[in-house]
């Protein structure tokens, strides 16, 4: 599963070939040989050393397979960069030709003009070969990517003909494109990076609040409430009557809630729900927005029901401690009327997409368990074992560190004020894109938390020599056991959870840490007045 520190021996019988193909074939042959040796059944009565040697051979076989795949990927990337170099060279030659054509069309007296026109007709063959490529390159300007093809001249455009014939000052051209692991992304973010006259600038994305405006009036609302609370049940009944009688909305609830409502009165027969679990997959196509009555746990439950796109969530605070519930239930009519009318400020809360890959899996993509979406964090701990957790962590297949301690937390920025904060992690604004990497009671004083960018893929693997198993939990539930060789793969999910704000995302976040955590609350230092100097 994971990269190993073993190095395969060189195969001297095969001569080296161009582009490393011979090395690639030798790696594949070595991997097959070691894999066949590792799969041979052990003899009866073998000791622990042979078992450990067999597991080591299995690890080496997997490592050689990854090395061969990386070799092929490197060759493909080299070919791609070669093609980019040729296109860039063709573009520069095309620009030079344009500059010579511009200078040849300047009127002059005598035979100078004729000589220039004659020279313009006799370009080297190197210029004529790139005409077709240059036309294709010109089409990329003004599209999704960000290009620079400017040629800066000396002097002002109003200069005389002598200045126009002077030597051109060329600015190196370049192109910025959004990519992840070498592949271009289909999502082009024009509002993040802009280009003008060779300077790269970033737009003020972090200072802009996100606003939601309805293009058509909402028709359907999904109400989720905290269970085992009589006060919440009374508020839910009142809210359903208000939505139906005054706002004329269609109402969805959970099957359990609908049963409780019908046991009280047949009036609630118009309330809709689902019969089978597979109908939840299409719930986002029927619901315009969601109202949660409870605390942060109710918001987590609402997010877990949607495995894909999530409708906007309006969270009301009816719990003990809430960082994602800014609305007060006493004024629900005023708040919900504002939401229905729009526009409203929202916070896009990123989620993690997690997969469990077993050691017995032959294909990491087809034979993995998941996806499992989490809004707060995924935790890998030692469970009931008395041994330290031993985990190997990789970021985009690059080894990060080995975790020895009670476990590891991979948290979103929305979950930065939850388990990650209790384990020593930092509080992060929920709209900051990133993944928090926080150890739990590490067996090293220098192991400090990290914040990784949003586009990375993190793999946490239990090594084969681990003394015990590890356990993974997702937002505090769905616990899964990880044995030696098993791995947990996490990346940023493409579907965030939009939650409505009372004022804006920054004000709500600061208010939550002040009111919920009493952040930096202390008595002011006594002052005796200004001292005379």
Question: Which residue in 23, 296, 381, 475 is the catalytic one?
Answer: 296
Q: Among 281, 311, 357, which residue's Cα sits nearest to residue 495?
A: 311
CA-to-CA distance for 387 and 366, rounded, in angstroms? 32
3-class SS shares of the chain: helix, strand, coil, % to 5: 35, 25, 40
Looking at the DSSP bridge assignments, the partners of residue 357 are: 368, 487
CA-to-CA distance for 462 and 480, rounded, in angstroms? 13
Centroid of chain to Cα 408: 19
Q: Among 76, 88, 75, 209, which residue's Cα sits nearest to residue 137?
A: 88
Q: Among 233, 226, 85, 94, which residue's Cα sits nearest to residue 151?
A: 94
CA-to-CA distance for 439 and 460, rounded, in angstroms? 12
SS (H, E, C) 26-83: HHHHHHHHHHHHHCCCCCCCCCHHHHHHHHHHHHHHHHHHHHHHHHHHHHHHHHHHHH
Q: Among 288, 272, 174, which residue's Cα sits nearest to residue 220?
A: 288
For residue 124, what are the CA distances in angstroms to 86, 119, 127, 498, 501? Answer: 18, 10, 6, 59, 64
User: Contacts by 167-176 with C-beta closer than 8 Å and gap 24+?
Assistant: 168/99, 170/92, 170/95, 171/198, 173/88, 173/91, 173/92, 173/95, 173/147, 173/148, 173/149, 174/147, 174/148, 175/140, 175/145, 175/146, 175/147, 175/148, 176/145, 176/146, 176/200
Helical packing angle, 230-245 and 255-264, nearest 10°: 90
Kindly write down the DSSP assignment for every residue of 140-179, as one continuous string: TTTSSSEE---EEPSS-TT--HHHHTSPPEE----EE--E
125 has catalytic annotation: no
CB-neighbour burial class of residue 170 (10 A; exposed 0-12, middle 13-18, buried 19+): middle
CA-to-CA distance for 415 and 171, rounded, in angstroms? 46
> What letter would DSSP give residue 272?
B
**Residue 177 φ/ψ, nearest 5 degrees:** -135, 150
Q: Among 62, 64, 58, 63, which residue's Cα sits nearest to residue 27?
A: 64
N residues, the chain: 533
Q: Among 416, 439, 440, which residue's Cα sits nearest to residue 428?
A: 416
H or E stretch covering 370: strand 368-374
| Residue positions annotated with a catalytic role | 296
């Amino acid at each position: 599963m994971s990269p190993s520190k073993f190095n395969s021996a060189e195969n001297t019988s095969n001569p080296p070939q161009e582009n490393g193909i011979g090395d690639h074939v030798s790696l594949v042959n070595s991997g097959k040989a070691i894999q066949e040796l590792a799969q041979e059944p052990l003899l009866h009565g073998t000791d622990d050393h042979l078992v450990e040697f067999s597991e080591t051979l299995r690890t080496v076989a997997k490592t050689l397979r990854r090395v061969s795949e990386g070799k092929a990927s490197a060759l493909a990337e080299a070919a791609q960069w070669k093609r980019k170099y040729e296109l860039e060279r063709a573009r520069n030659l095309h620009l030079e030709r344009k500059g010579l054509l511009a200078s040849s069309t300047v009127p002059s007296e005598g035979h100078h003009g004729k000589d220039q026109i004659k020279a313009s007709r006799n370009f080297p063959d190197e210029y004529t070969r790139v005409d077709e490529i240059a036309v294709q390159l010109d089409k990329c300007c003004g599209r999704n990517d960000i290009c620079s093809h400017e040629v800066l001249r000396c002097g002002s455009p109003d200069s005389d003909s002598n200045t126009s014939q002077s030597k051109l000052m060329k600015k190196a051209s370049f192109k910025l494109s959004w990519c992840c692991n070498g592949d271009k992304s289909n999502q082009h973010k024009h509002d993040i990076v802009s280009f003008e006259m060779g300077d790269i600038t970033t737009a003020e994305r972090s200072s802009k609040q996100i606003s939601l405006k309805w293009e058509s009036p909402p028709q359907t609302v999904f109400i989720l409430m905290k269970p085992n609370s009589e006060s919440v049940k009374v508020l839910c009944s009142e809210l359903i009557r208000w939505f139906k009688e005054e706002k004329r909305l269609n109402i969805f609830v959970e099957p359990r809630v609908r049963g409780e409502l019908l046991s009280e009165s047949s009036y609630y027969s118009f309330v809709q729900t689902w019969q089978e679990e597979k109908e939840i997959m299409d719930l986002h196509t029927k619901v315009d927005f969601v109202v949660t009555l409870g605390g942060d746990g109710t918001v987590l439950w609402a997010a877990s029901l949607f495995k894909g796109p999530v409708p906007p969530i309006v969270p009301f605070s009816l719990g003990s401690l809430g960082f994602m519930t800014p609305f007060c239930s006493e004024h629900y009519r005023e708040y919900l009327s504002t939401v229905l009318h729009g526009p409203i400020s929202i916070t896009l809360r990123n989620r993690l997409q997690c997969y469990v890959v077993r050691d017995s899996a032959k294909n990491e993509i087809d034979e993995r368990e998941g996806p499992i979406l989490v809004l707060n964090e995924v935790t890998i701990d030692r469970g009931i074992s008395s041994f330290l957790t031993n985990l190997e962590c990789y970021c985009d297949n690059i080894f990060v560190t080995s975790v020895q301690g009670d476990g590891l937390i991979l948290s979103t920025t929305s979950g930065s004020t939850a388990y990650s904060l209790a384990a020593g992690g930092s509080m992060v604004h929920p709209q900051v894109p990133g993944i928090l990497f926080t150890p739990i009671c590490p067996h090293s004083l220098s192991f400090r938390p990290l914040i990784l960018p949003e586009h990375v893929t993190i793999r946490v693997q239990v090594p084969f020599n681990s003394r015990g198993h590890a356990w993974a939990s997702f937002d505090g539930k769905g616990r899964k056991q990880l044995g030696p060789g098993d791995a947990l793969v996490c990346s940023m999910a493409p579907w965030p959870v939009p939650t409505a704000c009372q004022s804006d995302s920054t004000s709500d976040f600061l208010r939550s840490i002040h009111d919920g955590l009493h952040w930096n609350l202390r008595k002011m230092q006594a002052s005796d007045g200004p001292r005379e100097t």
